[in-house]
Structure 1
Amino acid sequence: MPLSEIKETKNRTVGTKQTLKALQKGKAIKVFIALDAEKRVTDPVVALCKEKNVPVETVDTMAELGKSCGIAVGCACAAIIDPGKEV
């Protein structure tokens, strides 16, 4: 199951702004994108992932991704970050 990775780690970002920040700083190892999120929100994240060669995994819904990250609301993006680096 693809979301098991994000569920099992405490080294993650939740949300588009934090995920973009982690990507810009070179700290993101893997990014998760919700397919039902607005493209204007997720497209910059996907583009930066391509630029930085960070793998992207898609998730069906924002609610599913948010729940996997331990929050009560949906989120468009999340990332697993290098445990040795803080965002």
Structure 2
Amino acid sequence: MFEELKNKKKLIVGTKQALKALKEDKAETLFIAKDAEKHVIRTIEDEAKKRKIQIVYAESMKKLGKACGINISAATAVILK
């Protein structure tokens, strides 16, 4: 599933933007890095569970960033509907 991330045209990387997409009911799938700090991802993870959005856990922030086609680490990413 991670291979297709960078090919997605409707991809948001970053916790603030991802949380906004969830709250606006625009998110299809949420990706969370397992090594992201809990206080950073707790709110977005709770919001996704509340809205019954699929959550996929990435091995690390570095791998999630790379899967998104960026050269920096990413705690979260969202594929939009």
Normalised TM-score (structure 1): 0.88
Q: Aligned residues: percent identity?
A: 41
1:1-87 pair list within 5 angstroms: 2-82=1-81
Give unmatched runs, 5+ long, in structure 1: 83-87
Give unmatched runs, 5+ long, in structure 2: none
The root-mean-square deviation of aligned C-alpha atoms, in Å, is: 0.9
1:45-70 deviation per Cα after TM superposition (whole angstroms, max 9, x unaligned)? 11000111101000010010011111
How far has the Cα of 1:8 moved from its partner? 2.2
2:36 is paired with a residue whose SS is coil
1:17-71 deviation per Cα after TM superposition (whole angstroms, max 9, x unaligned)? 0100100000000000000010001111110001111010000100100111111
Runs of 4 or more above 2 Å deviation: none
